[in-house]
Amino acid sequence: MHRERIDPQDHTANLLSFSRDGFVVVPGMFDAHEIALVEHDFQSASAVPSPKLVLETNGEIRSLFLERGDAPNIDVLVRQRRLLDLAEAMLDSHVYAYQVKVNSKKALSGDQWPWHQDYVFWREKDGLPTPRVLTAGVLLHDATEFSGPMYFVPGSHRGGVLQSVHSEAPAGDYAKDLAKDLSYQLTGDLLEPMVRRLGMASATGTAGSVVFFDCNVAHCSPNNLSPFDRRILFITYCSVDNVPVFAPRRRPNFLSNRDPSPLHPLGTDAFTTRRRG
């Protein structure tokens, strides 16, 4: 069976950018057929009311969280060797899927994500012990400067968790971890000097490109005022050495996967043997 092997050495420049900036966009990792299969899974899975479906205030879909088995083609994509090779090189270990979601910004109305870091949510709410965790965002549509791309502060990941936080929500309450009025937002008095020093960058790219970002890099994304949808499939890969051991307030499995088994790589052929849906 054909197994393309992506040698991380071919990605030296990408690994260096990720280490330096805390993010990197790798163009053209997936083709239109593969993206269409993922989009089909999204349409099917989001048609079912569920606590995994987070809505905007206008009723449009903001996020759809997925557990293994919810979306067969996405399960295959999560295990693609071309992603695992990079995630394992970046985290220097085998990895498991900590969280899988599709964030959607509907044309003309998709809402923003304020400035934040991701790791603080997983540490404070799930007890994830170390920041050996990253996210790969697979662009399901072109992310242009007009359609609500991700913005980053390059290099901000080197400061660790940037502001002292107090865990505010009672156990089981995670709505503000996923909404526009987000918990643990980075404040202006922290961002102003940091952006003056490090600048800002946007992660634009065509559908099928992948933006990898560190769990501590400061990021946000603006509204989508373009007439085109903007969806991104976010896969949070976590080192198998990094597992919550005890957290009184750990959230449901779709937010904090209880199964830290290492992901075994699949090749491109795994898609072709999968029928839609």
Binding site for Fe ion (CB under 5 A): 118
Output Rg (C-alpha) for the chain, integer angstroms: 18
Name the residue nearer to ligand 6CS (CB basis): 81 or 137.
137
- Residue 107 binding: pick among Fe ion, ligand 6CS, none (C-beta 5-8 Å cut-off by kind): none
Min CB(110)–Fe ion separation in Å: 15
- Count other Cβ atoms within 10 Å, centred on residue 206: 12
Name the residue nearer to Fe ion (CB basis): 46 or 216.
216
Min CB(72)–Fe ion separation in Å: 26
Name the residue nearer to ligand 6CS (CB basis): 36 or 178.
178
Q: Compute CA distances 245 → 136, 178, 202, 252, whole Å.
A: 24, 23, 35, 15
> Comparing C-alpha atoms, which of 219, 190, 21 is closest to residue 118?
219
List contacts with ligand 6CS (CB under 6 A). 99, 116, 118, 121, 177-178, 182, 255
Min CB(209)–ligand 6CS separation in Å: 20
Min CB(159)–ligand 6CS separation in Å: 18
Token pair listed for 133: 């965790």
Sign of CA dihedral 73, 105, 60, 124: positive
- Residue 237 binding: pick among Fe ion, ligand 6CS, none (C-beta 5-8 Å cut-off by kind): none
Name the residue nearer to Fe ion (CB basis): 85 or 111.
111
- Residue 177 binding: pick among Fe ion, ligand 6CS, none (C-beta 5-8 Å cut-off by kind): ligand 6CS
- Residue 70 binding: pick among ligand 6CS, Fe ion, none (C-beta 5-8 Å cut-off by kind): none
Name the residue nearer to ligand 6CS (CB basis): 234 or 271.
234
Q: What is the DSSP string of 49-62?
A: --TTEEE-TTSSEE
Q: What is the DSSP string of 145-193?
A: TTS--EEE-TTGGGG-S-S-----SPTT--GGGTSSS-TTPPPHHHHHH
